[in-house]
Structure 1
């Protein structure tokens, strides 16, 4: 849930209010989902047959298992409507891929595009050619060229068969580790230390390989990008935007906002709701870090990626401001922003949904729209509290990993009684626009 929260906080920071009614993304896509599942099942079977043909013995069998397990999990997500098939987002991505394909015949023809109901600005491409773009990416980036840059990067992964190579590395490393584990079991001294060293080396090696692949995807992706009619400097600007996502501090939810929206006709605001837990006696420095965080990162720092591209492609040393968004992209950006709450609700992140609604309301955005989502999310929180499973939908306070503002919000939520939650839910669900 913390990942979803951070995604919202960062996406929220650099956006502006939009005074228009929101047209929800059309989810009446049963036929498209059914057709995709048929296509995806066929492609999975083809991958399994090819893996057994190309890699004999244990390698081929293990690769087949990986494809089967992944397909089962992914098909479940499709059936649960985690993706959008019939939307303006799909149309935009298809048009950008066609622009990239004009001068890049190496781009596969069998790409299938899915739009994920996820507010994180991310994209990924699977071994079978399935292309997933998160809705959050449309909100975070500034124009068509930047979106095309992300697509080009993912095409770099696809063209280089990085997914397949990663799976094969896992299989080979598993075999090596089994031998090492047997050797550890046969010894009597320092078993725990040797086992941890095995785990640490495995994690570090995976991180190093992933970082190498990211650099390769940048280079190949940029070649695809520059062969098209997009502005070259936007490739670097895209990486800078993603760097912003990693570094911007979250905004504060003011105490006045709580008092404004929770001082209700049938329930006056209570100062005790804002009381915080005292964590001052807890020693957070007691834990001795055993893993190097830098070695665990799968993506290189954006500065390193940018400098690497400028070294390989000198024309990228020239910098320019972001291109102005086209009218069609501006519509996408607005729609993606308004889909923030429906996406949180779909993923059952009701606590983060309430926090997000309050952030939007604090700046006076689409008040009736976000008040209605406040009611919907509070209703779900009420059901969870009544059924003793609130932990599933609302984080516990974690001073080491949460902002002061989010900790205050969680304290507020946990301080509310069951009846108080119901009063808030009822008020915002029945309130007239």
Structure 2
């Protein structure tokens, strides 16, 4: 059945519901929801099929280039590695190192986690399955499909060593992550990313400067009672342990705590406005 035909059937089903003279019941509400759900699921299936076809077409073009064929799969595997906010974990030692300041000692209470153990998630069962709604198949399935179609991809190979030019571009791109977070007003994610870069020992002065700028914006938001716009709330089912710990830390800070951190890093590690 084509998408157009399915759309017409959905329209007819919705129209029939509208024309029902009986008072809307729970059963009717469920029927309306089922139409929405089935429509969303079928579109998800179609989009995932299209993505699979796009992978195949992309590889046909790629294999006629000068690149090694195995690099196509290697690139997909790299996407899988970074299919979350960040795969890196923030250590407790990193918090203590960054936020034990001369005028404000590190407070262990900042690391206290909210207790979700008594929360009954089954009470709020999701009405829509996320996997069924996904527009892209899992990367592992995409790779598996490609290897079935193109047998030469079954032979794995180590990734090519990056050229000096690519390495330089990669560093430039990485250093644009914080400005991008800042200008898109994702200040919470900017702090999280800065802490990760600092934990890895990258460009300390640069990332400490951005840490200060993001904390200054968090301070303004907290003071104006609109912090929810810039800092996520904790969602235990959808966030990594590391990110949940970070959010607990951020929400545990008082207004004065935030200001002291912002002042320390902005004064000691100024970043010019772009």
Q: Which has the higher contact order (CA 8 A, sep 6+)?
A: 2
TM-score of the alignment, normalized to the shorter chain, above 0.5? yes
> Aligned partners of 1:223 and 1:306: how far apart in 2?
14
- 1:402 matched to 2:235? The reply is no
> Aligned partners of 1:288 and 1:177: how far apart in 2?
25
Q: Which residue of 1 aligns with 2:48?
A: 211
User: TM-score, structure 1 length as denominator?
Assistant: 0.57
> Aligned partners of 1:248 and 1:350: how far apart in 2?
14
> Aligned partners of 2:219 and 2:171: how far apart in 1?
31
Residue among 295, 302, 308 paired with 2:132: 295
Residue among 191, 199, 220 paired with 2:36: 199
Aligned length: 265
> Aligned partners of 2:246 and 2:85: how far apart in 1?
20
Quickly say closer, same or farther: Cα 1:317–1:416, change in 2 above 3 A.
closer
Cα deviation digits, residues 174-199 of structure 1 (max 9, x gap): 55433221111233462112111101
Q: Which residue of 2 aligns with 1:365?
A: 202
Quickly say closer, same or farther: Cα 1:172–1:338, change in 2 above 3 A.
farther
Q: Which residue of 2 aligns with 1:225?
A: 62
Given that 1:382 and 1:421 are in contact with CA atoms closer than 8 Å, whether structure 2 keeps it comes out as: yes
- 1:235 matched to 2:72? The reply is yes
Quickly say closer, same or farther: Cα 1:293–1:414, change in 2 above 3 A.
closer
Shift of 1:229: 1.7
Given that 1:350 and 1:381 are in contact with CA atoms closer than 8 Å, whether structure 2 keeps it comes out as: yes
> Aligned partners of 2:153 and 2:42: how far apart in 1?
31
- 1:309 matched to 2:142? The reply is no
> Aligned partners of 1:275 and 1:292: how far apart in 2?
32
User: TM-score, structure 2 length as denominator?
Assistant: 0.88
Structure 1 unaligned regions, length at least 5: 1-167
Structure 2 unaligned regions, length at least 5: none
CA RMSD of aligned residues (A): 2.3
> Aligned partners of 2:146 and 2:38: how far apart in 1?
29
> Aligned partners of 2:208 and 2:86: how far apart in 1?
25
Shift of 1:297: 2.2
Q: Which residue of 2 aligns with 1:318?
A: 155
Q: Which residue of 1 aligns with 2:264?
A: 427
Quickly say closer, same or farther: Cα 1:301–1:399, change in 2 above 3 A.
closer
> Aligned partners of 1:432 and 1:292: how far apart in 2?
46
